[in-house]
Amino acid sequence: MKEFTLDILPLHEWLDFDACLPCLPDRQAARQVHPLIISGPCSAESREQVLKTAHALAETKAVKIFRAGLWKPRTRPDSFEGVGAAGLAWMKQVKKETGLLTCVEVATPEHVELSVTNNIDILWIGARTTVNPFSVQEIAEALKGIDIPVMVKNPVNPDIGLWLGALERINHAGIRKIIAIHRGFYTYNSKPYRNSPIWEIPIELMRLCPELPVICDPSHITGNYLLLESVSQKAMDLEMDGLMIETHVNPQKALSDSGQQITPAELKELISKLVIRNHYPENSGFRDMLEQLRSEIDVIDAELIHLLSKRMHLVEQIGNYKKENNITILQIKRWNKVVRESLELGENLGLNKEFLVKLLRVIHEESIQKQTEIFNK
């Protein structure tokens, strides 16, 4: 993957996590005091529903940004597709009456223009839009010259390249206030979730761009309000900067995604149960022990890399030998034997079977690739 860089402002420089704590020195300090909480209904359905939800969220004191879908990209045309531009007036009233910042999803340049004209504070680009570079580029062009924060959800399919590309397009348009939203990915079998979290993808995004704020959308990951707490806690344990959780004054009667929405009171309870862990403890004894254990891991990791290199050299020798003797690359009986014996050994050593299968598959795929290159010379 080519080098990935963003010119963005750290979250704590443009958004106070808590109005009474404006002098927090960095994002980690801010997050430990109060993670960023964005909440509101999946869809704005009526003025009454929007305002009731917003006022209840404002009373929690934890929510700083009110979100609501006005233009809804739905799979079927006969589904509720949102109230459209009519809801912008309701969002204005939310900000006036509660002081909450407002946030809506945009999918076209027209959505951007209408939102900016109506003083929406933050825009977000949804998963179905992120997946299409043409659509993202059109939105980026519409954003040029506008100073407004933009949040970018991951694409529907598990492709970090598409996510990175969307973030770059928005940044290249001059937007420096950017947040990435992890909302899970569609896979053939995501159970028990609506969208599989595949945590390694947002983790890799955080590694590639440490200054990029990343928040989690457990509502779209789970599709089930009963799983919200566990996924929210997981996101906090992975050092994400906050959560976007859908709320509704009456979830059972919601016109879209009723199964994943909770009431503002339930949101307040969920937040109160979250454990916000320290990034790095002040206890020197703990730090010393942690560094010692990490040093041992570093040594083992180096040994693993050396062993993998040695293994691949042997793979190349086998590939040359097979080519000289006109033997097929894949030997399915041999591969089944390797998997069977490796899983048996791993089980005896207390290793997770699923982890071992994934590891063996990656190593085997690389081995086949190397031998294929030899055959194609």
Any idea what the CATH number is for the domain that residue 152 is in? 3.20.20.70
| Residue ending a domain, choose from 273, 308, 325 | 273
Q: Which two tokens stand for residue 336?
A: 């089944």
Q: Of 273, 296, 316, which closes a domain?
A: 273
Segment 40-58 shows an average pLDDT of: 97
User: Which run of H or of E encompasses 151?
Assistant: strand 150-153
Q: What is the pLDDT of residue 28?
A: 53
Q: What is the pTM of this model?
A: 0.82
Start-to-end CA span in the chain (Å): 25
Q: Is the pLDDT of residue 132 over 60?
A: yes
265 shares a domain with 296: no
Q: How far apart are CA 73 and CA 153, in angstroms?
A: 14
Q: 3-class DSSP state for residue 246?
A: strand
Q: Are residues 35 and 127 in the same domain?
A: yes
The stretch 193-214 carries a mean pLDDT of: 94
Candidate from 40-44, 201-205, 272-276, 284-288 with smallest mean pLDDT: 284-288
Domain edge (last residue) among 223, 246, 273: 273
Of 164-168, 201-205, 273-277, the poorest mean pLDDT is in: 273-277
CB 219, CB 37: distance < 8 Å = no
Specify the DSSP class assigned to residue 238: T
pLDDT at 89: 97
Q: What's the pLDDT score for residue 120? A: 98
pLDDT at 152 over 60: yes
Same domain, 328 and 350: yes
Whether residue 16 is contained in a domain is answered as yes
Residue 316 resides in a domain: yes
Mean pLDDT of 236-248: 96
Rounded to whole angstroms, the Cα distance separating 361 from 77 reads 41
278 within some domain: no
Given a cut of 80, whether residue 16 has pLDDT beyond it is no
* Token pair of 168 as six digits: 């770059």
Structurally, the chain folds into a number of domains equal to 2
Q: 132 and 246 share a domain?
A: yes
Higher per-residue pLDDT: 142 or 16: 142
User: Does 216 score more than 60 pLDDT?
Assistant: yes
Same domain, 78 and 112: yes
Low-confidence winner among 173-182, 259-268, 329-338, 340-349 (lowest mean pLDDT): 329-338
Least confident of 23-32, 114-123, 266-275: 23-32
Domain of residue 114 covers: 11-273
Assess if residue 1 is contained within a domain.
no
Using an 8 Å Cβ cutoff, are 35 and 243 in contact? yes
Supply φ then ψ for residue 251, to 5 degrees: -55, -35
- pLDDT, tens digit, for every residue of 252-289? 999 999 999 999 999 999 999 999 887 666 677 887 88
- pLDDT above 60 for 292: yes
One domain, residues 101 and 217: yes
We report the CATH number of the domain holding residue 341 as 1.20.59.10
Say if residue 292 is in the same domain as residue 269: no
| Residue 6 domain flag | no
